[in-house]
A and B are shown apart, each in its own frame.
Chain A
């Protein structure tokens, strides 16, 4: 119990520590996200802290710049199968998905996106779904990412533990310790240099539970996700990702690369959740009718 309390305190001590460095003087109220911050130039650029991603981040292009509704940021869906290196199985999986976004979108009532059931999106789709305000906290053992959408969080271990090995139906943590697939998989991270953090994730959910993006592109439990967080300076960071999923794609490909901007650590982030009750009400009042149901 003591160690859990210690970890909790450590996680929240970091943002408190950032208060003294905040560029935004205390307004004494409930701060809302500010997307009209002045651009970073040579005149106001500050050096990035060493080996730290901690902070409250938002898309540098604005509140909706990383929603990726049209498909993952690096390759929005243009509707052509040849755009991605699908395996035959992957292409069949894509065609079985009835997405509400993208080139092959269907009407709201006709979709089969697991998101519409408020299912967890899993990794990597949380990186591709309405990335808005993203909080990152870290201590000497881990980095925690608090996603805005559905108030979800994940942990990336930085204590030197080994990435598990993929086995049939799950992962082997070592010595035959078999564990189940998870929506957020099993993630370990390492500092490539003082400003570049690389994360590898495996052991995610199978393709009948999760999608890659909102346009219905598939992803399987065989995927290996590699993310890189590169701190450009104090206020900006580039988040990129490559997936290697031999079940769905014949070769690895980059799914996203976009810039994040640091926000005041006291920013109050609004809830953004998926509620089955509210989803049902929306479908009844609007979604079904516009679909002719």
Chain B
């Protein structure tokens, strides 16, 4: 976890708050505006409702491995963004940017992912413009 590069973006806070709330739950659990970059090895990718879950082993500077869990929205929500059932495979080395939870657990929600093949996927959650009149 120590190797996780912690970047606090003041601008991002406002930006993220302006996005529509997630499909399943709101942002109460998340430290909105905080961003953590994680480079690690995929253990499992659960492409499932109500939220997809990515299990990622991240090695710290001291060599200790911490398992992070990064969630995305439901499959049908993140499908148009480009996420698929096989986007992450066990053993893949990927970089994932997450918004961590508030209580310090190694968990967060996916803001961006760089897949093993170099493909970049955007936020794994709701997006889009507000409803039109």
Q: Are A270 and B76 in contact (CB under 8 A)?
A: yes
Size of A's binding interface in residues, CB under 8 A: 52
Q: Are B103 and A292 in contact (CB under 8 A)?
A: yes
Known interface pairs A67-B21, A105-B26; A290-B75 also in contact (CB < 8 Å) = no
| Other-chain residue from A101, A107, A270, A289 in contact with B75 (beta carbon distance below 8 A) | A270
Q: Are B107 and A286 in contact (CB under 8 A)?
A: yes
Q: Give A269 Cβ to nearest chain B Cβ, in Å.
A: 8
B48 partner residues in chain A, CB cutoff 8 A? 278, 281-282
Q: Knowing that A101-B21, A290-B29 touch, tell me 20 more A-B residue pairs with CB under 8 angstroms.
A: A61-B128, A63-B127, A67-B20, A68-B131, A69-B22, A99-B26, A100-B26, A102-B21, A105-B28, A108-B25, A132-B76, A132-B77, A258-B131, A270-B75, A271-B75, A275-B49, A282-B49, A282-B51, A289-B105, A290-B105
Q: Are B131 and A278 in contact (CB under 8 A)?
A: no
Q: Give A35 Cβ to nearest chain B Cβ, in Å.
A: 6
Distance, CA A66 to CA B107, complexed state (A) = 28
Q: Give B14 Cβ to nearest chain A Cβ, in Å.
A: 16
Q: Are B76 and A67 in contact (CB under 8 A)?
A: no
Closest to B51 in A: A282
A247 partner residues in chain B, CB cutoff 8 A? none
Q: Mark B98-133, 1 if CB is under 8 A from A, else 0.
A: 000111010100000000000000000011111111
Asked if A148 is at the interface of the complex by the 8 Å CB criterion, the answer is: yes
Prevailing SS type, chain A contact patch: loop
Closest to A273 in B: B49
Q: Mark B67-102, 1 if CB is under 8 A from A, else 0.
A: 001010011110110000000000000000000011
Closest to A61 in B: B129
Asked if A64 is at the interface of the complex by the 8 Å CB criterion, the answer is: yes
Distance, CA A35 to CA B79, complexed state (A) = 12
Distance, CA A292 to CA B105, complexed state (A) = 9
Q: Are A107 and B28 in contact (CB under 8 A)?
A: yes
B60 partner residues in chain A, CB cutoff 8 A? none
A258 partner residues in chain B, CB cutoff 8 A? 131-133
Asked if A206 is at the interface of the complex by the 8 Å CB criterion, the answer is: no
Q: Are A62 and B127 in contact (CB under 8 A)?
A: yes
Distance, CA A111 to CA B26, complexed state (A) = 11
A60 partner residues in chain B, CB cutoff 8 A? 132
Asked if A285 is at the interface of the complex by the 8 Å CB criterion, the answer is: yes
Q: Are B26 and A101 in contact (CB under 8 A)?
A: yes
Asked if B24 is at the interface of the complex by the 8 Å CB criterion, the answer is: yes
Q: Which of B23, B53, B77: most chain A CB closer than 10 A?
A: B23
Q: Are A274 and B49 in contact (CB under 8 A)?
A: yes
| Chain A 232-257 residues near chain B, CB threshold 8 A | 238, 256-257
Q: Give B68 Cβ to nearest chain A Cβ, in Å.
A: 11
Q: Give A103 Cβ to nearest chain B Cβ, in Å.
A: 9
Distance, CA A250 to CA B2, complexed state (A) = 55
| Other-chain residue from B28, B46, B53 in contact with A100 (beta carbon distance below 8 A) | B28
